[in-house]
Amino acid sequence: MKHEDVWRAIDTLAAESGLSVSGLAKKSGLDATTFNRSKRIMPDGRPRWPSTESVAKVLDATGVGFDDFSNLVTGARTLHSPHKQNARRIPLIGMAQAGHDGFFGDAGYPVGGSWDEVSLPEISDPHAYALEINGDSMEPVFRDGDQIVVSPAAPIRRGDRVVLRTQAGEVMAKQLARRSARRYDLRSLNPSHPDRSFDLSEVAWVHRIVWVSQ
């Protein structure tokens, strides 16, 4: 039983329940950050394992038996649930990673083999991807651990929540306040953070947020 296999089993339980890992923790009566990826490694680099109590609460909340969980850990089988019938797996990375090179092509589509995957409701855009929110800069709209699904193909209108990446590699989730022939004006989702504006020449791409798992 390996550290990464146990965490993968928990991620699978969350996905098959139609939840983010944060949502699974809350459904199980735990702190919303209990299963966040940032908490899976200790500050000294050693792996942090989920407690027996937290696993027991997850199994109780999802109605999954320990045998099924054990099989998920070993990879012997996957769960079958109503969510899976209308779901497909799409690429997933953390919001903080999205600004790094190697994750997006020139058109703003996911590329490379470093993405995780998550099972979410059917999205028609074949280039759709998911980002996991890190930190509190987007509260109260999006919270730490939430997963947002982004569609490059979805039309963008004023008032939509969008993900924007600058030519310099900065990635942010904001609300589109105004788009002109020369600029994008963005409103911050968290009122304690400033609004932003960019010339078109500064923007690599803008994609619409179409769904969120909380």
| Annotated domain spans of the chain | 3-84, 87-213
Question: Rounded distance, CA 169 to CA 171, Å?
Answer: 6
* β-pairing verdict for 171-179 and 196-199: unpaired
CATH 3.30.2290.10 fits 87-213, yes or no: no
Say whether pTM exceeds 0.75: no
- Domain 3-84 fold is 434 Repressor (Amino-terminal Domain) (1.10.260)
Task: For Cα atoms 86, 90, 94, give the angle at the middle one, nearest 5 degrees.
Answer: 130
- 121: confidence class by pLDDT, cuts 50, 70, 90: low
27 vs 19 pLDDT, higher one: 27
Give the pLDDT confidence of 20-57 residue by residue, as tens digits.
Answer: 888 889 999 999 889 988 889 988 889 999 999 999 99
Cis omega (within 30 of 0) on the bond before 140?
yes
Alpha carbon 163 to its chain's center? 13
- 85: confidence class by pLDDT, cuts 50, 70, 90: very low
Would you say residue 79 has pLDDT above 60? no
